[in-house]
Amino acid sequence: MATKKTNPETITLSCGYEYHYNPATFDDYELLEDLAEMESGNRAVLPRVVDKVFGADKKTLFDSLRDDTGKVPTTKVIMALGELFSSLKNSQAKN
């Protein structure tokens, strides 16, 4: 299932979660540092990245990613982040 952009401020991920885009979220040097650490293989910063990107709406994201046992698989969180960043990159390339 593909990511769907429903309006300029909302991105719907394949898991059904609707991300409400705020450019100020990404104008954060500490987020950039955390993303660079993740890119270098340090997955320990993942919780900080998720907190900074999804904020108080993190529980809604997690609920959309839960498996049959009620757990939120780390791989699904990483995939959702990747999907979100890919969608944001694609939408910026079109502008």
pLDDT at 39 (0 to 100)? 93
Residue 19 burial (CB count, 10 A):
23
Q: Where are the domains of the chain?
A: 24-80
pLDDT at 4 (0 to 100)? 53
Instruction: Tell me if 81 sits within 8 A of 49, measured CB to CB.
Output: yes
Compute the 3-state secondary structure of the chain and give helix, strand, coil in percent, each to the nearest 5.
60, 10, 25
**Alpha-carbon span 4 to 71, nearest angstrom:** 25
Task: State pTM to two decimals.
Answer: 0.82
Spans of the chain below 70 pLDDT:
1-8, 92-95
Give the pair of three-digit tokens for residue 62.
Answer: 């997690």
pLDDT at 89 (0 to 100)? 84
**Alpha-carbon span 15 to 25, nearest angstrom:** 21
DSSP for 33-56, please give it: HHHHHHHTT-GGGHHHHHHHHHGG
